[in-house]
Amino acid sequence: MTPSERLAALEMELPSVAAPVGSYVPATRTGHLVLTSGQLPMGGGQLVCKGKVGKDVTVEEAMAATGIAALNGLAAAAGAAGGLDRITRVIRLCVYVNSAPGFTDQPKVANGASDLLVGIFGDAGRHARAAVGVAELPLDAAVELELMVEVTDG
């Protein structure tokens, strides 16, 4: 199955890509790599999960939010690549978790994105990953993430 077929089988679809507020773009391409801007858990033009994980937000809610941010990241990457099925491999995922004092389950939160990527790309979705707990995030988002993927010209 292609990534877009797997996405459909998961009954998911790529969201539209939000226009960045500033002098930047959703994603850039260099050679066969596409790097995305930091992705927030936006849905329908709204931030769907805000606050500190471990206090305002549960791990389960944060995992779901991280999956939403990952889907936004794939939409951004697909836009730069010329389509989701041009993405051949996920190289790097970096997850920034807006963490309450003492919250150390960042890897669990990041699994919300990692599992989705493997669900869509299979083994090619297995990536290098960093997950860290940050002090604050834009708009008080619960999570932000960056993706780096490998693409083909089809």
Where does this chain bind a copy of itself (CB under 8 A)? 20-28, 30-33, 35-38, 89-94, 96-97, 99, 101-107, 110-111, 114-115, 117-118, 125-140, 144, 146, 148, 150
72 or 111, CB closer to a copy of itself?
111
**Closer to a copy of itself by Cβ: residue 63 or 84:** 63
Q: By the 8 A CB rule, do 84 and 119 touch?
A: no
* Shortest spacing between CB 49 and a copy of itself, in angstroms: 14
- Comparison of 11 and 123: residue with beta carbon closer to a copy of itself: 123
Output the CA torsion 100→44→116→128 (10° steps): -60
Task: Write down the least CB distance from residue 52 to a copy of itself, Å.
Answer: 9
**Phi and psi angles of residue 6, each rounded to the nearest 5 degrees, phi first:** -65, -40
How large is the greatest C-alpha to C-alpha distance in the chain, in angstroms?
46
The phi and psi torsions of 98 (rounded to 5 degrees) equal -70, 100
Shortest approach of a copy of itself to residue 102 CB, angstroms? 7
CB of 116 to a copy of itself, least distance (A): 9
C-alpha span between 116 and 113 (Å, rounded): 5
Backbone angles phi, psi at 77, to 5 degrees: -65, -40
Judged by CB, which is closer to a copy of itself: 45, or 101? 101
